[in-house]
Amino acid sequence: MRERIGQWSHLIPEGAGDIVVLLVQLFIALTLIGWAYNRGFRATERGPIVRLPLLTLAFGLALLVRHIHSELWQPIMIAAAVIIAGLFSRSSNGRGMGVPLMLIASLLGLGFVLSALALTVVAVLVYMLSPVSKR
């Protein structure tokens, strides 16, 4: 069995484990925030807990921030992603989960896992304690 796995291990690029861990971290953060966001709505008004387009955009931002090491382009990309997420959140009905998730994705892309965890906890508490009419 080990020999069969060894034959296929050259197909997995270096650093693929880190990318999978990054995706799992974003998925967990989005699941927690989505649960807290949907908590106050009626069953018919609730959206999905994990919004795949939002997860895809956040994962792309995290990979982009992780790949580009320029001190000029990283903040520009993060600011553009947060502004675009804010515009999309405003065009829908109220505030969405885009802005906190883009900030969490950028923190994870930069390697600040503890800061991303703290921001996830703060976002969950804000969505749990805020009234539904303000979202």
Q: Is residue 6 part of a domain?
A: no
- Largest distance between two CA atoms of the chain: 59
Identify the pLDDT of residue 72.
Answer: 92
Strand (E) or helix (H) holding 14: none
- Give per-residue pLDDT as tens, 62-85: 999 999 888 899 999 999 999 988
Q: Is residue 31 part of a domain?
A: yes
Q: Write out the residue range of the structural domain in which residue 45 sits.
A: 21-134
Neighbours of 82 (CB within 10 A): 19
Amino acid at 121: V
Q: Is residue 129 part of a domain?
A: yes
Amino acid at 55: L
Q: Is residue 9 part of a domain?
A: no
Q: Which of 51, 54, 66, 87 is nearest to 21 (CA)?
A: 66
As a whole number of angstroms, the distance between CA 100 and CA 120 comes to: 8
What is the number of structural domains in the chain? 1
**Local structure of 125: helix, strand or coil:** helix
- Give per-residue pLDDT as tens, 4-61: 666 766 666 777 889 999 999 999 999 999 999 888 788 888 888 888 988 999 999 9
Hey, which bits of 4-66 come out as E strands?
Answer: none
